Amino acid sequence: MDEENDSPTSCRHCSQLQCAVTVESVATSNGAGGKKTTHRTALVTVGRNEYRDIFIRLDLGGSSLTYELKDVRVHYKFARDGRGSIELPSKRIVVQLSNCPPHKLNVLLRSLDAKLMLMKKGLDVKSTPVSVRERLLGGLPRAFEKLSPLTLNEMKQLQNCTRQFADNTNVSTNPPAKCSPGRTPKSKRSSGMMKRSLKDENSSENNMPEVSQNMPTDGDRLQLSAEQKTVVKAVLSGVNVFFTGSAGTGKSLVLRRIVGFLPASTTFITAATGVAACQIGGVTVHSFAGIGSGQFDLERSFELASRRHIAQQWRKCTHLIIDEISMIDADFFTKMEHVARYVRGNDRPFGGIQLILCGDFFQLPPVTPFGVERKFCFESAAWLSCVARTIVLKEVRRQSDSQYVSVLQQIRFGRCGAAAANLLNETRNNCLEKAGVLPTRLCTHTNDADAVNRSSLDKLKGEQKLFSAIDSESIPDSVQSNAPKDLKLIVGAQVMLTKNLDLSRNLSNGARGVVKSFRNGYPVVQFAVGFEELIRPAKFTIRLPGNQAWITRVQIPLRLAWAISIHKSQGMTLDCVEMSLSRVFEDGQAYVALSRAKSLQSIRVLDFDPNCIRANERVVRFYEQISREESSDDVPVYKRQRLGQFR
């Protein structure tokens, strides 16, 4: 494949991808035809010939198929699942694409659809096929060139067509998602997923290409930095990668970008906790592994992993993503590695699965039973044999306050000088209340945070509104963190967003607000950033192990925010936050809490004591070793060390 399509920065154009292909010959009314052929690995290319006709070419190893794309239907409803199809009615053929990198597939199909529409309408003379006369007289040499990116002129033509289409049909091209509207808690909850017509979403026949959101543009809305691109390139090169960095360096953003570039049905997305799994649309790593919490011996773990559905997903997996790797202990990681080799019958590290590991060992550590020695992943033999490359992200993007960034970097390594302590002590006088929005209290224990939210909600006078989620199918408890099945709200409730809605207006995950009223059954929230917003239902999606399709929950993207536990705040950016660190009990817990804020002006520490700042000594030595072994590149790469070096 060419460099353009492989590059993690090529989000605007894709004319070639590798995936599974099924070519189906549709049976006629008299029963003729009806043949279906599947190829697990194929190279799909869309391009033009010497006469500017558009073709699709399928390279199937020892053979190839080429079809002219004229009067075709492009289906991209399930592009997010890595699936799509191109229907050729005149030839009674359907080309089905599966196990595709979701982002590449979406760009390829929508770009193709746009090019076909422009060609059909004759809006771009340069891209319109030549006439029969020109073909006969031209004598052009045979050629096949990959489909070029959309030009600025083509984009303008598409936008004009989209506006005309919307005017002629008098319909909204992007209706909001729906969930059960707010009502009194004693009403029966709704069930069943609201579905739109398949014909409305599945085919280009009744939809103009969506230029603003789905078409390639001159720039991506969320640009990766140079060091972040290095991570994506390393993953796409096929090596096992661990990427790390301090809080706010964009690890989650990079992880989401990586997911879009990997084959959908054989990439398994996991995280150490349900909260983190929800953020990236995955499940807990324990759910994927199928060996419990790691309490069993190796032989029993082999038996558990050999159950049919667990073994199937282990064998199917080609890429395994694990977020918040710092919370996975060494013993569980080692058992997973042994199980992978056993179930897959492959003695390569992790059974030949490519690992993409993400996390910061300076943040929350593994949870271990009382009296059991804690061991980090990087202390295991499995880590040393599996992790080929470590990349450290250094550029902090959450905080623009350089003074606060410096304080956090000290605290991350368990240090807190007098100057840093004075700065944090001074925050106790900060006035954070704004437009009725109170600072969120960070608690060391989840039960404390839940109790604060319940009691604060019950103290408010007025009618509570109940919002019941609508699920596409049964969803495990792990999704409850960001989108509960039932959400109770009332005027005056302190809330925070649980999903990025509009980053340009700072409506991001963790944005703080207060419910001012209800309109059309939905809450109107006054946000701390300075404006009111009607919050409509949003879609939350996860993909369960062994399930190629995404499971969807539609719910109001809010949660109560008088308080939240430090554990659940990991990965969030909070507009205004208050904390008491006197009950901190874990290494790194104070650092996680303090790094949720954007600046010293948006935080209030009630009882700061430098003694609450601590980092695990083995983690410090691990990162110091990484720093010492920086290569000549801008991004440090960790070289394997002897077992026990960090103890």
Mean pLDDT of 318-324: 96
Rounded to the nearest 10 degrees, the angle between the axes of helix 308-316 and helix 330-344 is 90
Overall average pLDDT of the 419-433 stretch: 92
Q: What is the pLDDT of residues 283-295, one digit of tens each?
A: 889 989 999 888 8
Q: Looking at the predicted structure, is the pLDDT value of residue 11 above 80?
A: no
Spatial CB neighbours of 51, under 8 Å, sequence gap ≥ 6: 129, 130, 134, 135, 138, 140
Could you tell me if 127 and 52 are in contact, meaning their C-beta atoms sit under 8 angstroms apart? yes
Mean pLDDT, residues 566-573: 84
Distance CA 403, CA 283 (A): 37
CATH top-level class for 226-397+620-628?
Answer: alpha beta
The residue ranking higher by pLDDT, 519 or 170, is: 519
pLDDT interval class at 569 (50, 70, 90): confident
Over residues 37-60, mean pLDDT: 89
Smallest Cα–Cα separation from 540: which of 501, 492, 584, 504?
Answer: 501
CB 101, CB 258: distance < 8 Å:
no
> What is the DSSP track for 441-457?
EEESSHHHHHHHHHHHH
Give the pLDDT confidence score for residue 4 in this predicted structure. Answer: 41
Confidence of residue 445 (pLDDT cuts 50, 70, 90): confident
Q: Do domains 3-169 and 226-397+620-628 have the same CATH topology?
A: no
Alpha-carbon distance of 511 to 498, in angstroms, equals 8
- pLDDT on residue 155: 76
Quick: pLDDT tens for 522-552: 999 999 888 899 999 998 877 666 565 677 8
Question: In the CATH hierarchy, which top-level class contains the domain 3-169?
Answer: mainly beta
pLDDT band at 389 (very low <50, low <70, confident <90, very high): very high
Burial of 13 from C-beta contacts in 10 A (0-12 / 13-18 / 19+): middle
For residue 269, what are the contacts with CB-CB under 8 A and spacing of at least 6?
259, 277, 280, 281, 282, 283, 321, 543
Residue 423: pLDDT band (50, 70, 90) is very high
Which residue in 602, 592, 601, 599 sits closest to 569, CA to CA?
Answer: 592
Structure tokens at 507: 């409506």
189 pLDDT tier (thresholds 50, 70, 90): very low
In angstroms, how far is CA 95 from the centroid of its own chain?
28
State the maximum Cα–Cα separation within the chain, in Å, rounded to a whole number. Answer: 87
The whole-chain average pLDDT of the chain stands at: 82
CA distance 258 to 356: 9
Q: Which of 259-273, 468-482, 514-528, 530-544 has the highest mean pLDDT?
A: 514-528
Task: Give binding residues as ranges.
Answer: 245-252
Binding site membership for ATP: which residues? 245-252
User: What pLDDT score does 49 carry?
Assistant: 85
Q: Range with the lowest mean pLDDT among 14-28, 99-113, 179-193, 563-577?
A: 179-193
Query: What element of type H or E holds 522?
Result: strand 522-527
Q: Which one, of 37, 90, 622, lies nearest residue 376 by Cα?
A: 622
Q: Looking at residue 44, what is its pLDDT?
A: 93
Q: State the pLDDT at residue 496.
A: 93
Higher-confidence position of 23 and 501: 23
In 433-537 the beta strands, taken as DSSP E runs, fall at 440-443, 465-468, 470-471, 486-489, 494-497, 512-519, 522-527, 532-534
Instruction: Compare 401 and 408 and report the one with higher pLDDT.
Output: 408
- State the average pLDDT over residues 5-11: 48
Q: Where are the domains of the chain?
A: 3-169, 226-397+620-628, 433-575
Is the pLDDT score of 92 beyond 80? yes
Lowest mean pLDDT among 93-102, 120-129, 478-487, 620-629: 120-129
Separation of alpha carbons 347 and 339, rounded Å: 11
pLDDT of residue 2: 41
DSSP state, residue 437? B
**Comparison of pLDDT for 136 and 385, the residue scoring more:** 385
The per-residue pLDDT for 216 is 38
Q: How confident is the model at residue 173 (pLDDT cuts 50, 70, 90)?
A: very low
